[in-house]
């Protein structure tokens, strides 16, 4: 169920103009606000094909542990557990993959940024669990498989709130 939600996580970006999504520089406040509509729009779009819990994960994947995320400013345990997991995976993916406005970060730099955002942007328990996956080489394996013909799960134009 988590994988299914991850595959459609950013479908709401279909409602964001390409000149904003593919902008080769920083987004202005109006553009940023447009991008931030994608989580709620995506949840509406998948409501008929995913379960209610999965829809909540799609809607809430940009909420922040400190309550400063979007679209609902949820924080802490008010963020659905699946969304907490997707938030870390999505942000990490956004950082290590090429974007129109910058090249990919090295995996160690991306992981360091995720760790630094633990407790603010991300759920500390999820960061700790992801850290174990990084230590086991599982994350590198996923990206190696994607490079050999798999697919990424994110199309974020910027590295979460870390960039």
pLDDT tens, position by position, for the chain (163 residues)? 999 999 999 999 999 999 999 998 889 999 999 999 999 999 999 999 999 999 999 999 999 999 999 999 999 999 999 999 999 999 999 998 888 778 898 888 998 999 999 999 999 999 999 888 888 877 777 666 655 655 444 444 344 444 3
Q: Cα–Cα distance between 154 and 149 in angstroms, integer? A: 15
The total number of residues shown for the chain amounts to 163
Instruction: Identify any residues that bridge with 99 across adjacent strands, giving them in sequence order.
Output: 102
What pLDDT does 99 receive? 81
The verdict on pTM exceeding 0.75 is yes
Got the DSSP string for 77-131?
Answer: GGS-HHHHHHHHHHHHHHHHS-BTTBPPPPHHHHHHHHHHTBTTTB-HHHHHHHH
3-state secondary structure of 64: coil
pLDDT of residue 144: 65
Q: What pLDDT score does 146 carry?
A: 58
What pLDDT, on a 0 to 100 scale, did the predictor assign at position 147?
57
Task: Report pLDDT for 155.
Answer: 40
- Quick one: pLDDT at residue 10? 95
Mapped onto helix, strand or coil, the DSSP state of residue 122 is strand
Q: According to the model, what pLDDT value does residue 158 have?
A: 40
pLDDT at 162: 43
């Amino acid at each position: 169920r988590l994988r299914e939600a991850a595959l459609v996580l950013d479908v709401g970006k279909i409602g964001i103009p390409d000149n904003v999504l593919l902008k080769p520089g920083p987004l202005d406040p109006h553009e940023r606000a447009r991008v931030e509509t994608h989580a709620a729009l995506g949840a509406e779009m998948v409501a008929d094909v995913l379960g209610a819990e999965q829809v909540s994960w799609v809607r809430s994947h940009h909420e922040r542990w400190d309550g400063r995320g979007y679209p609902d400013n949820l924080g802490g345990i008010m963020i659905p557990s699946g969304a907490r997991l997707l938030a870390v995976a999505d942000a990490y993916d956004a950082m290590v993959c090429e974007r129109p406005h910058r090249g990919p970060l090295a995996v160690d730099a991306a992981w360091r940024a995720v760790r630094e955002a633990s407790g603010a942007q991300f759920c500390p328990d999820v960061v700790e669990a992801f850290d174990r996956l990084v230590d086991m080489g599982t994350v590198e394996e996923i990206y190696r498989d994607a490079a050999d013909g798999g697919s990424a799960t994110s199309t974020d134009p910027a590295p979460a709130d870390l960039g």
